[in-house]
Amino acid sequence: MKTYLVGGAVRDALLGLPAGDRDWVVVGATQAEMEAQGFRAVGKDFPVFLHPETQEEYALARTERKSGRGYRGFVVDADPSVTLEEDLQRRDFTLNAIARDADGTLVDPYGGARDLEARVLRHVGPAFSEDPLRVLRAARFMARFAPLGFTVAPDTLALMRQMADSGELSTLVPERVWQELRRALGYAQPSAFLRTLHDAGALRHVLPELDALYGVPQRAEFHPEIDTGVHQELVSDMAARLAPGDDVIGFAALTHDLGKALTPADVLPRHLGHEHAGLKPLQALCERLKVPSEHRELATMACREHLNVHRLFELRDSTVHDLLARCDAFRKPARIAQLALVCECDKRGRAGSAEDDYPQGRELVRLHAAACAINARDVARDGLSGPQIGEAVRNARIDAIAQARAASR
């Protein structure tokens, strides 16, 4: 019985990244022997155990054989005779197929350390194609590692294209797609997630609403990058820059322009009404992936309101108030700072605009604060009731917005 540190902990240490969770593989042991040493079995589909003191995960070395469609169609063999090299061979990428012995010696039969040095994401072997989830994992790894100079190996990208064409991606359950997307939005370069899936022909299978943006032109005077798909990549990366690790902001930024894919060809490159047209595909995406309500609500607001926020200085005081009311901003005030940030991501997510100022965001937050200072107690008068109180509060808040604007002039 021998134990090795494996996977991400070894990979990240070689890259000089902060240490995360540590995973271990055990060679030459049985489940009974692990439990006899105090390990607690937690694996459902294969033998994984928690260490009695550290609670770190220890898995028996295993092989996997494809037995059906999808990422669950595998037969697992965790016999004590399975070698470390056989266990590493079933892993997805060479950079995840490196083990470290107790004395620090690396076991690297598939050249993972070499690929780390070359900054290449490469699949271990042909078994990669047996698990469609690995296409999404490849894209997620690129969202994390592209800033370090990583690229996908050409043969790996070709294999991902074959997997996309095979129809296997249709077997992925929505929760797994959302999990990979959500994690990618928390990394430094979400555009690499989108671009990798698009280049592999996989984006149209898992996120067709976003794939449809590629190749759709925009007016060059507002969008020098022209292609809406490229604009979306820039916006997503700006969200990662301005709100690092915040996948709620990231998702709203990702989906704000879905309506542009629905613009009739004879209208292009203009996109009149795209903010309202985008609500239907956004709803479809959220329903399909079972997107949490917090993400869904901010995304809906950003899709519907981003043009209004961009032209905030042109709006009437009453229109500003009604924008805030549509966002339920008086009951959930934190939303407005989030909306302002998403709109800033949209404005700065354009070729040549990354360092632009966005005063509309600050102004929206300031006017919202002025309106929030008014409540029903402040305007209640004898004889007012029900709708009359509501109308009085609305008028007082509009006045507060007007006064705040006048004071800044």
Do 155 and 186 lie in one domain? The reply is: yes
Q: Do residues 160 and 139 lie in contact, with contact meaning Cβ atoms separated by under 8 Å?
A: no
Which structural domain range is residue 26 located in? 1-124
Mind listing the pLDDT tens digit for each residue in 100-144? Answer: 999 999 999 999 999 999 999 999 999 899 899 999 999 999 999
Do 60 and 146 lie in one domain? The reply is: no
pLDDT reported for residue 196: 98
Q: Do residues 138 and 196 lie in contact, with contact meaning Cβ atoms separated by under 8 Å?
A: yes
Do 15 and 105 lie in one domain? The reply is: yes
Do 91 and 159 lie in one domain? The reply is: no
Domain boundary pick from 206, 231, 265: 206
pLDDT reported for residue 44: 72
Report the distance separating Cα 153 and Cα 120, nearest Å.
6
Residue 286 lies in a domain: no
Domain count, the chain: 2
pLDDT reported for residue 298: 98
Do 17 and 119 lie in one domain? The reply is: yes
Do 164 and 110 lie in one domain? The reply is: no
Residue 302 lies in a domain: no
* CATH at residue 120: 3.30.460.10
> How many Cβ atoms are within 10 Å of 354's Cβ, its own excluded?
12
Residue 229 lies in a domain: no
The runs of H, that is alpha helices, within 225-316 are 228-242, 247-255, 274-277, 279-289, 293-310
* CATH at residue 172: 1.10.110.30
Q: Do residues 128 and 168 lie in contact, with contact meaning Cβ atoms separated by under 8 Å?
A: no
Spans of the chain, pLDDT less than 50: none
Residue 20 lies in a domain: yes
Any long-range contacts for 37-45 (C-beta under 8 Å, 24+ apart)? 45/72, 45/74, 45/76
pLDDT reported for residue 60: 92
Residue 274 lies in a domain: no
Report the distance separating Cα 167 and Cα 266, nearest Å.
33
pLDDT reported for residue 338: 98
Do 118 and 191 lie in one domain? The reply is: no
Mind listing the pLDDT tens digit for each residue in 376-398? Answer: 777 766 556 677 878 888 999 99
Report the distance separating Cα 56 and Cα 383, nearest Å.
67
